[in-house]
Amino acid sequence: MLGLATEVAKLEESERLQIVELATEEVSGKVPLAVTVYGYTVEQQIRFAGLAQSRGTDWLILQPPPVKGLSEVDCLDFFGKVMDSTSQPVAIQNAPEYLGVGLSVKGLMTLLERHPNFILLKGEGPAVTMAGVV
């Protein structure tokens, strides 16, 4: 829940948390519940990830900070710090053509090697790009 193209960047944190609470009440452990984590800083994402986890989410989907021109090293550092702050399974949304920032295949592999809770990729892009990722 809280998709990139829909509501995550359009809502205040309190509104995003309200949606998390409503969804966890509705789902009540029937299916795993994933929530997109949004924020400009590591601290904002760590805070929201912790709040979402405390409300019953099962795993997190991290997005790179909405900052154009962020280097791959900076992205790895950003994602790594957020991943290290949680024991929950984590996915990342990697859509460099859409977001203007993201990881290469080499960067994705580095993240995978460094962070065992990185278990899923929500990859988006042209088929040729995604073929290389796969």
Residue 4 has pLDDT above 80, yes or no: no
Q: Which CATH superfamily is domain 13-133 in?
A: Aldolase class I (3.20.20.70)
Work out the average pLDDT over 112-118. 96
Q: What is the pLDDT of residues 6-15, one digit of tens each?
A: 666 777 888 8
pTM (predicted TM-score): 0.87
Query: Where do the domains of the chain lie?
Result: 13-133
Q: Which residue has the higher pLDDT, 59 or 67?
A: 59
Q: pLDDT-derived band of residue 5, with 50, 70 and 90 as boundaries?
A: low
Model pLDDT, residue 6: 64
Amino acid at 8: V
Q: What is the spatial distance between Cα 114 and Cα 109, in angstroms, rounded to a whole number?
A: 9
Averaged pLDDT score across all residues of the chain: 88
Residue 97 has pLDDT above 80, yes or no: no
Q: Which residue has the higher pLDDT, 29 or 53?
A: 53
| CB neighbour list of residue 134: distance below 8 Å, 6 or more residues apart | none
Residue 44 has pLDDT above 90, yes or no: yes
Residue 3 CB: number of other CB atoms within 10 A? 12
